[in-house]
Amino acid sequence: MTFQAYLDAIKAKTGLDPADFKRLAGEKGILDAKASVVLAWLKEDFDLGSGHGMAIFGTFKDRPEASERVDKQFAGAKAQWRPVVDQLIATLAEHGPVGTAPTDTYISLLNGKAKFAIVAMTAERLDVGIKLRDAAALATSPRVEPSGSWNSMVTHRVRVTDPAQVDAELIGWLRAAYDAAG
């Protein structure tokens, strides 16, 4: 579930948005309290579980804008991967609208609110995580490995060390994951 999906679910359940919770926490004097205090309040007063509570708690702190998070992803030696990722997303967008949800360590690729892939960069490599449960074609390719402990949000991982490896085969797998997520 994306961060925004948590916030949408909370709004649907309580009728309150993050600004409302921030105001209420300020009125209770717990705006700067530890997470455990805020989680207990959200559980008691709003019947929110820990995942949803942590989403609200996260809004109490200054979060960098999405564009800042993306810029941070491509800082320094990882800058070489930005045009590759931009082109990858543009190519996938020809198939259907692609949303992005950057974290501090990777960028999720979304079909609507459903994650179908992630990209993460190092100086030497672009890792493409693909979320595709029924993936017979992926299982037979030597380019693909199970995601394992690398990232549990996806099922497979492709390590790209050369921009030329972002080819029709990889795009095809990502399109299949996009369709499966929709």
28 — phi, psi (to 5°)?
A: -80, -10
Confidence of residue 133 (pLDDT cuts 50, 70, 90): confident
pLDDT, greater one: 128 or 71: 128
Mean pLDDT, residues 75-89? 94
- The pLDDT score that the predictor gives to residue 66 is 67
Which of 106, 111, 96, 103 lies closest to 147, judged by CA?
Answer: 106
Torsion angle of C-alpha atoms 151, 156, 159, 164, degrees rounded to 10: -130
pLDDT tens-digit readout, 151-169: 888 999 999 999 999 999 9
Asked if pLDDT for residue 63 goes beyond 80, the answer is no
Asked if pLDDT for residue 25 goes beyond 80, the answer is yes
The burial class, CB within 10 Å (0-12 / 13-18 / 19+), for 40 is middle
Mean pLDDT, residues 28-44? 89
Asked if pLDDT for residue 176 goes beyond 80, the answer is yes
pLDDT tens-digit readout, 89-126: 999 999 989 988 888 899 999 998 899 999 999 999 99
| Percent above pLDDT 70 for the chain | 95
Mean pLDDT, residues 85-89? 94
* Identity at 31, one-letter amino acid code: L
Asked if pLDDT for residue 27 goes beyond 60, the answer is yes
Asked if pLDDT for residue 62 goes beyond 70, the answer is no
Asked if pLDDT for residue 80 goes beyond 80, the answer is yes
What's the whole-number average pLDDT of the chain?
89
Q: What is the pTM of this model?
A: 0.66
Confidence of residue 141 (pLDDT cuts 50, 70, 90): confident
Which domains occur in the chain, in start order? 3-59 (no CATH), 66-181 (3.90.1150)
The structure tokens listed for 150 are: 């690398």
